[in-house]
Structure 1
């Protein structure tokens, strides 16, 4: 008949070996993994509470935040219905057009410049890369006065590119983002094996065919990241849009929503919260759509070793 013995230390502590092993395992799990769940939970609460508060304020009655201290204490759609009596949807249209065109232009221009710097060897290549690196160190805010004076003078010659022009705002966005995005894409393009280019050229492909049909497909993750960042940046920008767009019908969402709460005596926070909730939807949908490209592999399956 088999007998089980209990070690003296375990017996003195009143624990069986299995209980001791479970305690050690629990402490190890907490030290290696458990505390991370606590930190993640606190981070989710910290990031999610402002979102819940804004959503609650958008459904609250009245135009102040005092009635939103209790989350979802009152639920009404008056704030959303009131948006139809404003220029809100015109601002949404302006913002989507500006952000979409800026994102597409940034991706196309940045990818073309990055491909040229990565694949071609020409005079001034190193100087151009260094210049891009230096330019991206200075924030675009430093050029506010220069941009304003430039558009003011340019509007006398080409009104479509002067102040109060959405096209002019797009051009400013494209110029400001070209340097940093080109340098970002350049490093990504360098990771694509040049043997793919050479193999395609042997088969008779031109530089344009290599670029459009091979390279761009392999660098789709960085294109998605740059497009998403460019869209979000121009979608939420306030300073440049406020500087250039002067008439109410040309305002973007950031400028228009700010005007509703700029005057504290007549601030309508309920209307502002409703507009903020709706304006967040395009960004969330775009992020969900591009997520598979962002997390996708770079050249998975393109080269067999």
Structure 2
């Protein structure tokens, strides 16, 4: 078999694999969109390509007095925005400290971060519930945001520290010669060069509150403080037992803010270190 033939076979297999993965990814998405456009409320009477499609479920989410969808959306946006910004700032400071400084307990701290990632988050749920109840933040968006930001520090710190380690220390030294202090080096040198990895952290931490169900389910009790994942669960539970079409419509709209944030951060994800290039 010639090299040219082998190359064609490899390319064909790659395309077949991509097509297979595309079917796995887009098939459930197309079904969800189709169900959201079907009339009625039943899951089993829906079809991927509805014959008599309607936007009544989307209209109900935004106009019905019985719907708290807009309130849940606002709660999710608040939690996601604070989680994203807070995680980026706190993680960057921690990662910068571990990357640039040598201090007592540094290695122990890094190994602790690594060790904490090995345990499933379910193990800490009871402790988090008791902790938030003790400090009076149970059933509040503030308590939920505190847990989100703190819970992501070990993974994010390792991720960002590894990126900071690739930034030449000579840039720090040159900035200090020019009179920059520690914060000056951090904000003017390191952060601009680290925009790609910080954009990744911002995107992942923005997505989490929109898709997470378990943590809000444990910490929140007041329906007015529900996030989208928890609120939409009511459409197929309790008094909203069979509203799968409204559930599908609400689920589709979750993707909008995530897509907008991704588009906003895309240039940082693509350009890489060139966004923070320096002039000689």
TM-score, normalised on structure 1? 0.85
Please say if residues 192 and 299 of structure 1, whose CA atoms lie closer than 8 Å, have aligned partners that are also in contact. no
- Which structure 2 residues correspond to residues 22-41 of structure 1 after superposition, within 5 A? 27-41=5-19
| Cα separation, 2, equivalents of 1:24 and 1:263 | 64
Report deviation, 1:260.
0.9
* 1:1-305 equivalent positions in 2, closer than 5 A: 27-83=5-61, 84-85=63-64, 86-155=67-136, 162-263=137-238, 266-298=241-273, 302=277
Aligned-partner Cα distance in 2 for 1:132–1:204: 34
How far 1:25 sits from its partner (Å)? 8.8
- Residue 135 of structure 1 and its aligned partner are, at CA, apart by 1.4
**Distance apart, 1:72 and its partner CA:** 2.8
| 1:46-77 Cα distance to aligned partner (Å, 9 max, x none) | 21111111111111100012232352322111
Secondary structure of the residue aligned to 1:37 is helix
Distance 1:80 1:276 in 2: 11
Report the Cα distance in structure 1 between the residues aligned to 2:205 and 2:152, rounded to whole angstroms.
8
Cα deviation for residue 238 of structure 1 reads 0.8
Structure number, greater radius of gyration: 1
Q: 1:223 to 1:28 in 2, by over 3 A?
A: same
Do the aligned residues in 1 keep the contact of 2:195 with 2:275 (CA within 8 Å)?
A: no
Give the Å deviation of 1:300.
Answer: 6.9
Give 1:265 deviation, angstroms: 8.1
**Contact 2:210/2:254 (8 A) holds in 1:** no
Q: Secondary structure at the match of 1:64?
A: coil
Report the Cα distance in structure 2 between the residues aligned to 1:299 and 1:198, rounded to whole angstroms: 20
What stretches of structure 1 of length at least 5 have no aligned partner?
A: 1-22, 156-161
**Residue-by-residue CA offset, 1:99-147 (whole Å, 9 max, x unaligned):** 1101111110000001011111211111111111111221221111111
The answer on whether the counterparts of 1:225 and 1:294 sit within 8 Å (CA) in structure 2 is yes
Query: How many matched pairs?
Result: 277
Return the alpha-carbon distance in structure 2 between the equivalents of residues 265 and 224 of structure 1. 38
- Unpaired runs of 5+ in structure 2? none
Question: How far is the alpha carbon of 1:234 from its aligned partner?
Answer: 2.3
- RMSD of Structure 2 on Structure 1 (CA): 2.1
